[in-house]
Amino acid sequence: MDYDIANIGLAKKGKLRIEWAARNMPVLQIIRDRFSKEKPLKSTCISCCLHVTTETANLMITLKQGGAKVNLCASNPLSTQDDVAASLVKNHKIPVFAINGENNSTYYQHINKVLDVHPHITMDDGADLVSAIHQKRKDLVKDILGGTEETTTGVIRLKSLEQKELLLFPIIAINNAQTKCFFDNRYGTGQSTVDGIIRATNILFAGANVVICGYGWCGRGVAMRARGMGARVIVTETDSLKALEAIMDGYEVMPIKEAAPKGNVFITLTGDTKVISEEHFKLMKDGAIVANGGHFNVELDLDALEKISVKKRIVREFVEEYTIKNGPRINILCQGRLVNLAAAEGHPACVMDMSFANQALSAEFIVQKSQTLKKKVYPVPEKIDKQIAKLKLKSMGVEIDNLTSEQKKYLVSWEAGT
Ligand code: ADE
């Protein structure tokens, strides 16, 4: 079996940690049990480009139990948990191509490795697999039934392909399922981003001025958690509605330029490029901490920061201090890579349970419905989304009320008024 990982000797530790995550992934476990019996993915080749974490390992094991042949590479050079990669190879015989800290060239070599198997399904987090296929490996398209996309940034890229009528196979936008974005993006990113910043710096959030750039689901989650820890939170936005929502949620809202001299900690979660740029870095307080929680490392203009800096040094693991000429020292976390996965362990298993249940059931859906799917970006079918919510509640031992037949009838009527 072909693979490329850091150290197979780490498998024992990885196995224990994968099992630990499984305890908080009951919905995926139910799917895994059914997949083992029914084998709905029999002989389906699935190439995955995901963060190589304990939660992803549980998804890989589920797909394999469903009969799929899975291959995995990393969706970020700094997010791979090397012990997990080792356990997947050694204990589960799943080919993994991912090494924490790999350079750009190895990152793309690994993407090509998982594509070499001629997948029937692609499973992306950030759309790098689909992008590579569309730019360099169009020969693979004839075998592909469809793909899935895990994250906001990836869905934006894929919708752009669709709008330009360039998309070559159907995609299911996992990110947009309600059981995904309401929980993973909000509570997962909220907790894991704060966790990453604290592990990297050991700072106290209480009393700190924390600037959150972007008030989508992820920004909302991080703002909520930072405030809960006693920080004074400032939100920056470009969308009027989201800015209004942030105000009514009780945060200060202002342009980044105004927030720059006020903040102690800056966190970007926008999905866009150069959100914090040269002019902002120059205005910051000495010792400001800057982290990115968005998928790609483009949100901070680090090239500009490098140009205006006279000194750069690593001051502790995950923290690089730039000294701007006649200006402040700025601490950049994890080279601007997503801080929750690079300095911490990503979202907790409890929320990834629902995200990856969507992945597993959408892969099954693609196999069942590929004949009817067009070259479009589709939402996760509502039936799947609702089923996951029900299973999750059941796993928590929570019961809810049912509508009476009178109530159901009332909801579809129009005659009765005051
Ligand atoms: N994205 C964010 N957190 C993650 C995790 N724990 N595993 C896989 N992908 C993630």
Sheet holding 319-324, edge to edge: 252-253, 232-236, 209-213, 265-268, 288-292, 329-333, 319-324, 309-316
Could you identify the residue written with the tokens 């919510």?
Answer: 389
Q: Which of 48, 352, 353 to probe ligand 1 with, by most ligand atoms within 8 A of CB?
A: 352
407 Cα–ligand 1 center, Å = 40
Q: Is 347 in the pocket of ligand 1 (CB under 6 A)?
A: yes
Q: Is position 340 annotated in a ligand binding site?
A: yes
Query: Cα-flanking dihedrals φ and ψ of residue 413, to 5°?
Result: -100, 165
Whole-prediction pTM = 0.96
d(CA 158, CA 295): 15
Domains 8-180+347-395 and 186-342 fall in the same CATH topology: yes
74: which 2 tokens? 């990393």
How would you classify the pairing of strands 121-124 and 146-149?
A: parallel
Ordered by start, the domain boundaries in the chain are 8-180+347-395, 186-342
CA distances to 38, 105, 377 from 163, in Å: 37, 30, 10
CATH 3.40.50.1480 assigned to domain 8-180+347-395? The reply is yes
Query: 56 in ligand 1 pocket by Cβ < 6 Å?
Result: yes
- Evaluate: CB of 185 within 6 angstroms of ligand 1: no
- In 3-state terms the chain splits into helix, strand, coil percentages (rounded to 5) of 50, 15, 35
Q: Which atom of ligand 1 is nearest to the CA of 125?
A: 9
* Best probe residue, ligand 1, of 48, 51, 183 (max atoms within 8 Å of C-beta): 51
Architecture label for domain 186-342? 3-Layer(aba) Sandwich (3.40)
For residue 215, the 8-state DSSP code is -
Per-residue confidence in pLDDT tens, the chain, 418 aa: 999 999 999 999 999 999 999 999 999 999 999 999 999 999 999 999 999 999 999 999 999 999 999 999 999 999 999 999 999 999 999 999 999 999 999 999 999 999 999 999 999 999 999 999 999 999 999 999 999 999 999 999 999 999 999 999 999 999 999 999 999 999 999 999 999 999 999 999 999 999 999 999 999 999 999 999 999 999 999 999 999 999 999 999 999 999 999 999 999 999 999 999 999 999 999 999 999 999 999 999 999 999 999 999 999 999 999 999 999 999 999 999 999 999 999 999 999 999 999 999 999 999 999 999 999 999 999 999 999 999 999 999 999 999 999 999 999 999 988 8
Closest CA to 212 of 173, 172, 177, 263: 263
